[in-house]
Amino acid sequence: MDHRQFYIGGAWCDPSQPGDCAVIDPSTEEVCATISLGSAADADRAVAAARAAFDDWSQTPVDTRAALLGKLYELYLARRADIARAISLEMGAPIDFAAADQFDSGAVHLAETLRVLRDFAFEQARGKDRLLYQPIGVAALITPWNWPMNQVVLKVAPALAAGCTVVLKPSEIAPLSAMLLAELIHEAGFPAGVFNLVNGDGPGVGARLSSHPDVDMVSFTGSTRAGVLISKAAADTIKRVSLELGGKGANIVFEDAPANAVADGVLGCFLNTGQSCDAPTRMLVQRSIYDQAVETARQVAEDQKVGPAHETGDHIGPLISAAHWTKVQGLIRAGLDEGARLVAGGEGRPAHLERGYFAKPTVFADVTNTMTVAREEIFGPVLVMIPFDTEEEAIAIANHTPYGLGNYVQTQDLARARRVARRLRSGMVTVNGDYLGVDMPFGGVRQSGNGREGSRWGLEDYLEVKAVSGSPWA
């Protein structure tokens, strides 16, 4: 990325100048930018700006808010190359993947928010009474690094559409695409103070936003551990907390699964280098087809290409950071130590890569659901395979986890698919690779979180419901 200036909540940041936090290109392990790491005082100033802007913005007509979001959508579409380049640099998504899936995820959520906003009834009649849907207030939005534009737009767009003012804290290790979005929000003409961005870490900016008395809501996507800390910090001020956390998705492959189910499941696990909270990382396979499934998984893993993010082509990139690479390697070692059968991959980098945070696409077979690799979210290109005999056993294994984000079912018996989908304890279930549409909610249960994002549910998350008796409208 060319060194350039980015608009951040009323100030400009030049990444070519020394700052408090280096952004590392995970493909090269070299600094690609520097940012100023904000403090609790910076968070206070951003919240004050958002609070001052709230009264006017919350009363802004829906048509005006929609027009500004429409302008933002146009500006976003025009900057595909810049945003893709930023995502590829900051978190290691291969450039073709960044320009397609990563970029498009932000675009489709912006478009869906606009559609929902234009059709949403903020005042609804209930006989003689009325329900008023009104913006909750100042929303603190804390986002992760793995799908930068997807998760930033899933929060920023509906919050602004609802009439909230926002303070965004993107991940400090992947902030560049969020800073570009801030530039576009400024260019679109949103009023001062409506959108604010503060770069910073969790203990500094994140903790202050979570506990701030003038923040009415925190929406967080990230690890379950961090979600617990945010919930505790927010408790004293009784603010709304919406959490989208980790996952350990089960992919149940029955003996009558579609022919490509196993191969697609392996590729789904490796997508984005396995750094997706809803990845199908536990493949449960009916015993009658288990041996063949393991062989298929081995072949797919060995064929999976790995390479630097700046190279074009169909490959996966590096993990996000040195610390995360070390974590993933430790979990692979745990799988070996606990007796899982290594089918493909293993410890270390792929042989052709001498630098960068690259991991080998790895498959473990003969895993039990009590092993560390079956219990913990690895967040890397690591698939575990578990055999089962009956439908009841498959459901029991799938549900025997503290998580509950996304699960997957592969069978051509549609009655069985319906039965299993109803019994899986998760916020989402994907049947035979038919992924959910953009007009459906995203989120989980138990330690995967408590909120729903996307479409109408995303907008409603930032609204309070007020009941008013009928006499004013009589």
Q: Which residues are catalytic?
A: 244, 277
Cα torsion for 443, 282, 106, 317, to the nearest 10°? 150
Q: Distance between CA 321 and CA 285 in Å, rounded?
A: 32
CA distances from 239 to 120, 235, 285, 346 (A): 24, 7, 43, 44
- Range list of H helices, 16-121: 40-58, 62-78, 80-91, 95-97, 103-119
Provide the token pair at 146.
């793995």
- Range list of H helices, 271-390: 290-303, 322-337, 372-375
Q: Is 459 within 8 Å of 452 (Cβ atoms)?
A: no
Tokens 């100023």, located at residue: 36
β-partners of residue 429 are: 407
Residue 305 gets the label, from left (phi > 0), alpha (psi -120 to 50) or beta, of beta
Pairing of strands 240-244, 250-253: unpaired
Provide the token pair at 1.
């990325």
Residue 369 dihedral angles phi and psi, to the nearest 5°:
-70, -5
Among 279, 349, 344, residue whose Cα is nearest residue 317: 349
Q: Is 131 within 8 Å of 470 (Cβ atoms)?
A: no
Q: Is 407 within 8 Å of 394 (Cβ atoms)?
A: no
Q: How many helices (H) and strands (E) does the chain have?
A: 16, 19
